[in-house]
Structure formats: structure tokens, C-alpha cells
Amino acid sequence: MAIRLGCQMPKFTYSAAAADLFPTIIAQAREAESAGFDCAFVADHFFQTPALGPAGGPRPEAYTTLGALATATEKIQLSALVTSNTFRNPALLAKAVSTLDVASGGRAVLGIGAGWYELEHKQYGYEFGTFAERFERLDEALQIIVPMLRGEQPTFEGKWYRVESAINEPRIRADLPIMLGGGGEKKTFALAARFADHLNIICGISDLPRKLEALEARCAEVGRDRSTLETSYLAFVFIDESGDRARQLQRDFLLDLGVDLAKASDTERAWATAQQICGTPDEVAEQLQTRVLDQGIDGIIVNLVGNGHQPGIVELTGRTLRPLVDA
């Protein structure tokens, strides 16, 4: 499955014309493929989330987008980072990701999480529930999805979901990879230890050592060798051949979120940039090597939120980072 280098495409406010969105999305995915990225990701939200700018901006539906990318690419793996379990019946989700796998010739990855953004649930009429309930639902969903992906016909009756001899055909393989995404040391990491091939850890970079210790503990609790669970880190990366230009991109992005780095306190700056890497290619490579990979993380997924839609930036990032993850 290995995902040592991934590219997430999360923001679509770069074009006023909806007709221009998909050509740009496809161009990014093809550029990622040619630059040696292992997987292209889209986020599973209905509109832009506040972590990326003012809420309500355009966002295409994830699995329709991935289906389009399946026919526009040839080698790169395709996934949501991550599917919100609350949006789809688990049997339907198993069917959708299996169909994506067939359409792409065996390149689908099921990325999944518990769901977190309450506003879109309210606006679209989905039950949000409590934190504990969302993880109960994810646990039950995985007990349905995993056997369906493996070619079984599960019967399951739970608090939240039920299926009866659920058939999932066509499929082309029994080892479609499952990725969990999140930073929860108790619930998310425990589910990853039980069900996942890959865990994408989402947290501040400085928290990574503690997260990996927690993951080791969750794996030990279920008798799993931690080395059998691949890990990656999701980093917001601002990269440009000009370091000044990269830092301006970061400042502009944070201004959209209401954070002025020129006026921010040290505490505010640390909070706002906790998941961010910024600079020239050499600076970005050095930071990701020492702050992420050297901590024991297997791979990097980059979110080029400032300029990833511009031709050449994904290629520059792949050329910069591929040697690190191949080392």
C-alpha cells in the first residue's frame, strides 16, 4: 500500500468559475502522479471549512471527484482524507470505495474518520451527535466495511447500523487499504490499531513524539506490532523557490483566518503555525526531515493550501520531498 508521499487538494476558492474547477483538480492530480506522489487526496466536506478560510466556499463532493480522477490518472492511488463516517451508510461507503477501486484499476484507499464539523451536519440534515457517539458509530461502521472490502457478506446488528448478508461486488482485490485519520490518542488510535493499514496523524508538529508513544500503547493493547501500522503526517506546506514568496503565502493564508503574524504574540504564532512548514525547497525539506520523519513517522502528506493549484508547485514539492521518503 505504501503511502510515503501524498498530496491533499483541500481548497477550491482559486477560481470564480465552477467550470474551471475540475480542469485544475485534474491538472494537480496528474502533476502529483508525474512527480512521484503515491496518493492524491481530496477532503470530504460539503463546503470550505473554517480551517482554510471563510466558511462556505466551493467544495466538490469527494467520491464524485475521486471517480473523475480515476479516469484522468493511471498510477497514483486515490483517497479521501478523510471520509466522514457520518455522511454515508457504511455498506454504501464500502460499495463506493470498491467501485472506485474497480474504476481506477486497484488504486483506491479508504480514508475514514469519525467526522468533526458540526455546521455542515446541521445544514445538510445529518445527525452530528456527541463525540462519544460519533466514535461508537465509526467502530460499528468499520465492523461492516472491513469484511465487505475483504469479500465477506457480513450480517451485523448494532446500535447505529445494521446489515444482513451484505453483498459487495464487483471487487478486484481483497486487500484494499484502510487509512484512519485524526489525532485522538485514545479512540482514533485504538480503532487504527484494530482496523487500519495506515494512520494519518493530524496534530501540531511538536506533538508528534507523544502521539507516537500513544500509538505504540494502543497497538500493544490489542497485541499488534506497531511496525505493521504505517503512519504519515499531514502538513500544511508553503513552498516556493523564493523563501520570501513562500512566507508571504503563509501570511496571506493566515490573514484570511484572522491571524496577523506581524502582530501576533509568540503564543498566537505558535498556535497558528503548529501544523505548517514554510520556506524554500531546501528549508521545507530540512524541516520535514528533522521535525517529522526523524521522529519516526513513515511518510508525509502535504496540503499546498497557498499555491498548489498553480502549475509547477506540486512538481516542485514532489522533487523536493521524494528523496526524503525514499531514503
The three cell numbers of residue 137 are: 458509530
Please give the single-letter amino acid code of residue 44.
D
Residue 217 predicted with pLDDT over 70: yes
> CA 20 → CA 23, 79, 82, 113, distances in Å?
6, 22, 24, 30
Maximum separation of any 2 CA atoms in the chain, in Å: 60
Distance separating alpha carbons of residues 34 and 25, to the nearest angstrom: 14
Residue 220 predicted with pLDDT over 70: yes
Average pLDDT, the chain: 96
For the chain, give the percent of residues with pLDDT over 90: 92
Segment 2-14 mean pLDDT = 92
Please give the single-letter amino acid code of residue 7.
C
Q: Give me the long-range contacts of 172-176 (CB less than 8 A, separation at least 24).
A: 172/101, 172/102, 172/105, 172/106, 173/101, 173/106, 174/149, 174/150, 175/1, 175/150, 176/97, 176/98, 176/101, 176/108, 176/109, 176/110, 176/149
Describe the crossing of helices 208-221 and 187-195 by its angle, rounded to 10 degrees. Answer: 50
pLDDT at position 109: 98
Residue where the block lists cell 480514508: 111
| Residues forming a β-bridge with 156 | 163
Residue 15 predicted with pLDDT over 90: no
The three cell numbers of residue 81 are: 482524507
pLDDT at position 7: 98
All structural domains of the chain, each given as residue ranges with its CATH number in brackets, are 5-244+277-326 (3.20.20.30)
pLDDT, tens digit, for every residue of 29-44? 999 999 999 999 999 9
Pairing relationship of beta strands 162-163 and 156-157 according to DSSP bridges:
antiparallel
Residue 327 predicted with pLDDT over 90: no
pLDDT at position 41: 98
- Specify whether the CB–CB gap between 246 and 223 falls below 8 A: no
pLDDT at position 219: 98
pLDDT at position 1: 61
1-5, 10-14, 255-259: which is most confident: 255-259
Distance separating alpha carbons of residues 234 and 300, to the nearest angstrom: 6
- pLDDT-based confidence at 274, cuts 50/70/90? very high
pLDDT, tens digit, for every residue of 100-138? 999 999 999 999 999 999 999 999 999 999 999 999 999
